[in-house]
């Protein structure tokens, strides 16, 4: 599809149009300039649900609404919600007694939930249902006295929340280099679980090495890496061999965005860079580049991608082809605490549409 066929909102960062001479000087290439735009990209169902939960809470209860940690890992989303009256805190102790706090999409441990009860806080749990599934798996296998090897990044909110479900049974395995450090009580009762936003390839390599040590290692009942993470990695794998440059829109603390940048390099892109906003793009990246791949992490609203496309068009990359590798139509219902309140108030809308939920066609 051509750039003219893409519906582009106003850019977040105003800029002047570049002259053909400026474009030629800044980005000299041999051949036709083009953009390969990954699909799926951007918001997943869990992110959509979490952001809407905060917006609906603000609409219904009024500001302030407190949010423990970043609701999702994206600086634009967080600043936009702050402008509407959300207050982001690190721990429940920062929330005034009796106030409303939303738990982020990454999930929290039972200890965090109990601390909210102890402080008399009203809570809305916006944990992604796919993360909740991993929590339930951890509880189930801990009750059966398994050693649980949780593949994920130590310190990430999702990993902290899952590990907190059964700290006596769970060991965190950061990746292949951690496998030799793992110690278990009974090699016949070991199972692995994973953070939902990891590199699929690296996770499977970690599992392979773990299974070399523990041949009877059990797999989780269903795939823990979320559909959106997998789909976005598949899309960039298809684009990367054709692109001299891949631009990933996403924040530095977004695990799945960082993984997309790494996957692009692994699968053939000459260079790959992550940006929060279009104005972070360096024009020197375009030297000798005919094909630019573009994608975005699962917590990135589509307006940020459109702004990147506008900048690329300024540099002569106005031939945009969307590379579709999957269709996504998954929606999650709002958190149960919010559903009950909104139903009583007569508000049954989900409020989609402004958050990048879109057809990939």
- The three-state secondary structure class of 25 is helix
Mean pLDDT of 328-349: 88
Average pLDDT value over all residues in the chain: 91
C-alpha dihedral sign at 190, 196, 201, 206 = negative
* DSSP result, 205-255: HHHHHHHHH-TTPBPPSS--S-HHHHHHHHHHHHHGGG-SEEEEE--TT-H
pLDDT, tens digit, 9 for 90 and up, residues 311-321: 999 999 999 99
Alpha carbon of 53 to those of 105, 122, 279, 331: distances in Å?
10, 14, 30, 13
The structure tokens listed for 335 are 């958190």
* pLDDT at residue number 352: 40
Backbone angles phi, psi at 117, to 5 degrees: -60, -45
Is 44 annotated to bind a ligand? Reply is: yes
CA-nearest of 74, 116, 73 to 91 is 116
- Please determine, for residue 228, whether its predicted confidence score (pLDDT) is greater than 80: yes
The structure tokens listed for 316 are 């002569």
Is 256 annotated to bind a ligand? Reply is: yes
Catalytic one of 137, 157, 158, 165: 158
C-alpha dihedral sign at 116, 131, 152, 156 = negative
Is 355 annotated to bind a ligand? Reply is: no
CB-based contacts of 98: which residues, under 8 Å, 6+ apart? 120, 121, 122
Is 128 annotated to bind a ligand? Reply is: yes
pTM above 0.85, yes or no: yes
- Which residue stretches of the chain are H helix? 20-26, 45-61, 75-84, 110-118, 129-143, 157-163, 200-213, 227-239, 255-266, 302-314, 336-344
Question: DSSP state, 40?
Answer: S
Please calculate the CA angle 291-258-174 and round it to the nearest 5 degrees.
140
Is 226 annotated to bind a ligand? Reply is: yes
pLDDT, tens digit, 9 for 90 and up, residues 278-319: 999 999 999 999 999 999 999 999 999 999 999 999 999 999
* DSSP result, 195-218: -TTS-HHHHHHHHHHHHHH-TTPB
The structure tokens listed for 318 are 């106005």
Is 255 annotated to bind a ligand? Reply is: yes
158 is catalytic: yes
Is 156 annotated to bind a ligand? Reply is: yes
% pLDDT > 70, the chain: 88
pLDDT, tens digit, 9 for 90 and up, residues 160-203: 999 999 999 999 999 999 999 999 999 999 999 999 999 999 99
């Amino acid at each position: 599809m051509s750039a003219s066929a893409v519906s582009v909102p106003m850019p977040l960062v105003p800029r002047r149009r570049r002259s053909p001479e400026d474009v030629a000087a800044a980005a000299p290439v041999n051949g036709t300039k083009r953009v390969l735009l990954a699909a799926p990209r951007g918001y997943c169902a869990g992110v959509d649900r979490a952001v809407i939960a905060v917006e609906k809470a603000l609409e219904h209860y009024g500001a302030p609404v407190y949010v423990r940690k970043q609701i999702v890992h994206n600086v634009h989303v967080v600043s936009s919600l702050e402008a509407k009256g959300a207050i982001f805190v690190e721990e429940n102790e920062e929330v005034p007694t009796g106030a409303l706090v939303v738990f982020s999409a990454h999930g929290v441990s039972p200890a965090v939930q109990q601390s909210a009860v102890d402080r008399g806080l009203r809570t809305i749990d916006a944990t992604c249902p796919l993360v909740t599934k991993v929590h339930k798996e951890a509880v189930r296998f801990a009750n059966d006295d398994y050693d649980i090897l949780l593949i994920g990044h130590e310190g990430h909110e999702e990993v902290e929340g899952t590990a907190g479900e059964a700290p006596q049974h769970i060991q965190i395995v950061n990746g292949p280099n951690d496998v030799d450090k793992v110690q278990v009580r009974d090699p016949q009762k070991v199972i692995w679980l994973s953070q939902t936003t990891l590199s699929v390839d690296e996770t499977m390599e970690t599992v392979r090495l773990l299974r070399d040590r523990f041949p009877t290692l059990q797999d989780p009942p269903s795939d823990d890496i979320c559909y959106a993470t997998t789909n976005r990695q598949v899309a960039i794998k298809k684009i990367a061999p054709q692109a001299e440059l891949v631009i990933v829109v996403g924040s530095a603390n977004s695990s799945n965005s960082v993984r997309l940048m790494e996957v692009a390099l692994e699968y053939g892109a000459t260079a790959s860079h992550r940006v929060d906003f279009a104005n972070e793009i360096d024009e020197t990246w375009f030297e000798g580049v005919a094909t630019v791949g573009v994608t975005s992490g699962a917590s990135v609203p589509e307006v940020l991608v459109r702004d990147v496309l506008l900048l690329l068009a300024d540099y002569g990359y106005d031939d945009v082809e969307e590379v579709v590798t999957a269709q996504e139509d998954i929606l999650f219902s709002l958190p149960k605490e919010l559903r009950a309140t909104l139903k009583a108030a007569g508000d049954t809308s989900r409020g989609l549409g402004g958050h990048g939920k879109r057809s990939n066609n």
